[in-house]
Each structure stands twice: as C-alpha cells, then as structure tokens.
Amino acid sequence: MSGQDIRSLYQEELIQVVREMGGRDFQGKQLFRWLHQKQVGSYQEMTDLPKAVRSQLEEGYPLTSLYPVDTQVSALDGTRKFLFALADGQMVESVWMHYRHGDSVCISSQAGCRMGCRFCASTIGGLIRGLSAGEMLEQVYAVGRAMGKPVSHVVVMGTGEPLDNYDQILRFIRILSHEQGMHMSQRNMTVSTCGIVPRIYDLAREKLQITLALSLHGATDAKRQKLMPIAKEYHLDAVMKACDHYFKSTGRRMTYEYSMVSGMNDTGQDAAELGRLLRGKNCHLNLIPVNPVKGRSFRQSDKKVVARFKNKLEKYGINVTIRREMGRDIDGACGQLRRRHMEEPPVAE
Ligand code: SAH
C-alpha cells in the first residue's frame, strides 16, 4: 500500500500499515483519528504514536495538504469559492454555501471530466485524473478549517463525474461517515451523476444512505443526447430503471436535476414530457437555470419561463424546486474558476 494517499485508506488498512511498521492495532485506530477527526497536517503532531512508526509513515506515506490558490466571496449571499492546488499542481474547486439547514460544501471528484456535457465548463479540457478519496476529504476538511467550523453537508457536484471514479468516491463516503472520523451522516451527502447505469446498480448494492442525484436535462433521448454525450451510451429507459432500482433498494428518494437552457429544453412540451416521465415517482426535481459559460453559447431560460415550467410540473404532482443560484457573481458554475486559472495561470512566486 506504500506510496498511496494515506487519507484514502480505511481504518482496517491503516491498522495493517501500522502493524507492518511494528506498531499495535490500537495505534492504527489512533492514526485514523488523527487524520480524519483531528485532521492534523503532519505526523509530528500525532504525539501518541511511537516515533519509529511516525518516521516510517513520513517515509512511506508523505502527508500532503491542499494549497489554497484563490478564494472568492460572493457579495450577494456569502458563498465562498475555493481553488485548491493538489500535490501534483492540478487544481480543483470547492464551494462553501450557507443554508438555513446548515453549511454545505460542494466538492470536485476529478481534475477535469470526460463526460463532455455541452454547457459545462469542467469538461472543456477533458479529464486529467480522478482524485483520491483523501483529496476529496481534504477539500471538506480544508473548507471547514477556513470557515472555522466543520461543514455539515456535502454535495459531490463540483468538477468531475463521481461514478467515473467509483472506488475512490466509495472510500470518500465511508471515511467521511466513519464514527471515528468526521462522522458525517450519509443522509447529509449527495452524489450527482450524469447517469452511468452499471455504476448506479453497483452503488445500490453498497446500501449507503446518501442521496443520489441524476442529471436529466432532457425528458427524451433526443433531447438528452443534444446536451449530454453519455446519453448516447445509456438510454433514458435504462437510466430511469436504474434510478427506480436505487430507490427501491436503499429507500432513498431520488433527486433529478434539470439544467434549463433557453430554447433547448424549456418549452411547454418539454415540461409535459418531463411530467410524464417523473409522474408517480417518489422523487424530487431540481430546476437549475443554466449558468452561462465563457465560450459556450447557451442562454439561461427566462425567470418567467422557469416559473411556468415549474407550475406545469407541479400539476403532474411532482415535487419541484428551483435551485437558488448561489454565488452568481463569483463564477458560480461548475469548473469556471478552475477554467479561468487555466487560461490565466497564476504568476509564479
Ligand atoms: N458529473 C456529475 C456532477 C456534475 S455537476 C453530474 O453530471 O451530475 C452537478 C450538476 O450541475 C449537474 O447536473 C451538471 O449537469 C450541472 N451543471 C454543470 N454545468 C452547469 C452550468 N453551466 N449551468 C447549470 N448547471 C450546470
């Protein structure tokens, strides 16, 4: 296991690592707590671990931290966007949002993305690499540190397709909810996917309590395929069947996301098709007025059009909300701050 990101290892694996270094099993548990509960930044601070173990850890598992490159604070709603550099210089974004029910952080699961959704900034440079579970956890921890209090909710809706980084996202969820780590309730976690059908079935088998959000963006295959290349691989009936299965086997109500693009998927007919698709399902529909991205020509649907769309869906008995646009003044949408920094690299010190 040497050379791996130590924060990505399960407690049982840490016990094994420490055992191989001549330590005792309870010291493996202590190591887990130092990393995920106390969230210290160096092995030297882990004062109840034997020196010999600490120096072997330093040698075999260098402990890196995210480096904050940029922060933007929204004057409108206090939303805060963080740009972090990873150990290899790649950059990822995380967003902190304040809601009535608690604070939430939106994290990235990959550096770049290979799904190619037409309106999304994260996909423009393609996929660079998946993040390790430790790098995802560090986003949650680092934002909590910066805000002076731990965050209570996590949404995996930043750059990347989480189910395209399946093993690491599972580790992330399990470690974040571990009772000797941050112990965040899985019910406070949402993972958003563009709809990789086999992985949705895999996830259903894990019997987690997270909310799964499915990016729909169109109620027919033709509409979806215009916006999302992945829709050519997995057709809508297979995606919806997988989501129904997820609900049946976990008891967790699905969330459907629908980014509204003017003239593309926001007509009365679109609303009717969406209504028929979701009618009778125990689900929640989130309408997201598309966030314009530099270099892409999509326009946001009019406020009136969005309201009309919502009303029509409610007539089908669907539970609909319009997503509040947080941080509109700070490159709010997925991947935009990272994109800007890639275009204008920060001046080297
Ligand atoms: N890959 C995952 C998570 C990505 S982002 C997924 O596809 O679900 C979370 C949501 O934001 C997705 O529904 C995504 O389609 C949407 N999104 C991305 N860019 C957007 C933009 N510019 N405006 C509105 N929604 C956007």
Please indicate, yes or no, whether residues 28 and 168 belong to a single structural domain of this protein. no
Please state, in angstroms and as integers, the Cα–Cα distance from residue 149 to each residue in 45, 79, 100, 144, following that order: 20, 15, 16, 5
pLDDT of 263 over the 50 cut: yes
Provide the percentage of residues in the chain whose pLDDT is more than 90: 84
Distance 195 CA to ligand 1 centre (A): 12
Contact 149, 140 (CB under 8 A): no
Mutate to test the pocket of ligand 1, among 105, 114, 120, 256 (most ligand atoms within 8 A of CB): 120
Give 45's contacts (C-beta < 8 A, 6+ positions apart).
Answer: 34
Query: Average of pLDDT values for 216-225?
Result: 98
Residue 349: inside a domain, yes or no? Answer: no
Please indicate, yes or no, whether residues 285 and 336 belong to a single structural domain of this protein. yes
Residue 294: inside a domain, yes or no? Answer: yes
Residue 313: inside a domain, yes or no? Answer: yes
Distance 36 CA to ligand 1 centre (A): 29
Model-level pTM? 0.94
Q: Is 334 a catalytic residue?
A: yes
Output the DSSP codes for 45-78: G-TTS-HHHHHHHHHHS-----EEEEEEE-TTT-
Confidence band of 99 (pLDDT split at 50, 70, 90)? confident
Q: How far apart are CA 124 and CA 143, in angstroms?
A: 26
Please indicate, yes or no, whether residues 145 and 19 belong to a single structural domain of this protein. no
pLDDT of 8 over the 80 cut: yes
Q: How far apart are CA 105 and CA 155, in angstroms?
A: 6
pLDDT averaged over the chain? 93
Annotated catalytic residue within 12, 334, 344, 349: 334
Please indicate, yes or no, whether residues 13 and 100 belong to a single structural domain of this protein. no
What is the number of structural domains in the chain? 2
Residue 309: inside a domain, yes or no? Answer: yes
Give 237's contacts (C-beta < 8 A, 6+ positions apart).
Answer: none
Q: How far apart are CA 175 and CA 38, in angstroms?
A: 14
Residue 336: inside a domain, yes or no? Answer: yes
Nearest by Cα to 161 from 112, 118, 201, 121: 112
Query: Average of pLDDT values for 66-87?
Result: 92
**Atom from ligand 1 closest to the CA of residue 335:** 19
Residue 46: give its domain's CATH number.
Answer: 1.10.150.530
Residue 215 belongs to domain spanning:
67-343
**Atom from ligand 1 closest to the CA of residue 192:** 8
Please indicate, yes or no, whether residues 170 and 290 belong to a single structural domain of this protein. yes
According to the model, what pLDDT value does residue 291 have?
Answer: 87
Please indicate, yes or no, whether residues 194 and 310 belong to a single structural domain of this protein. yes
Residue 258: give its domain's CATH number.
Answer: 3.20.20.70
According to the model, what pLDDT value does residue 333 have?
Answer: 57
According to the model, what pLDDT value does residue 297 have?
Answer: 79
Please indicate, yes or no, whether residues 55 and 71 belong to a single structural domain of this protein. no
pLDDT of 1 over the 70 cut: no
Q: Which residues line ligand 1 (CB under 6 A)?
A: 115, 117, 119-120, 157, 161, 192-194, 215, 257, 259, 288, 290-291, 293, 333-334
**Half-sphere exposure of residue 299: CA atoms within 13 angstroms, side-chain side:** 6
> What would the pLDDT profile of 275-308 be if each residue is shown by its tens digit?
999 999 999 999 999 988 877 778 999 999 999 9
Residue 134: inside a domain, yes or no? Answer: yes
Q: Is 93 a catalytic residue?
A: yes
According to the model, what pLDDT value does residue 76 have?
Answer: 85
pLDDT of 10 over the 90 cut: yes
Residue 78: inside a domain, yes or no? Answer: yes
Annotated catalytic residue within 12, 20, 93, 257: 93
Give 135's contacts (C-beta < 8 A, 6+ positions apart).
Answer: 5, 7, 66, 86, 92
Query: Average of pLDDT values for 131-145?
Result: 97
Residue 317: inside a domain, yes or no? Answer: yes
According to the model, what pLDDT value does residue 2 have?
Answer: 63
**Atom from ligand 1 closest to the CA of residue 296:** 22
Query: Average of pLDDT values for 252-279?
Result: 97
Nearest by Cα to 189 from 154, 221, 140, 146: 154
Please indicate, yes or no, whether residues 151 and 273 belong to a single structural domain of this protein. yes
Provide the percentage of residues in the chain whose pLDDT is more than 70: 93
Which tokens hold the place of 264? 């593309």
Residue 274, Cα to own-chain centre: how many angstroms?
Answer: 25
Distance 258 CA to ligand 1 centre (A): 9
Q: Which residue, 37, 60, 83, sits at the end of a domain?
A: 60
Angle between helix 197-205 and 236-250 (nearest 10): 10
Distance 162 CA to ligand 1 centre (A): 12
> What would the pLDDT profile of 52-76 be if each residue is shown by its tens digit?
999 999 999 999 999 999 999 988 8
Please indicate, yes or no, whether residues 42 and 74 belong to a single structural domain of this protein. no
H-only helix segments in 178-235: 197-205, 221-227, 230-233
Query: Average of pLDDT values for 13-24?
Result: 98
pLDDT of 349 over the 80 cut: no
Distance 336 CA to ligand 1 centre (A): 12
According to the model, what pLDDT value does residue 346 have?
Answer: 38
pLDDT of 174 over the 80 cut: yes
According to the model, what pLDDT value does residue 347 have?
Answer: 39
Please indicate, yes or no, whether residues 138 and 227 belong to a single structural domain of this protein. yes
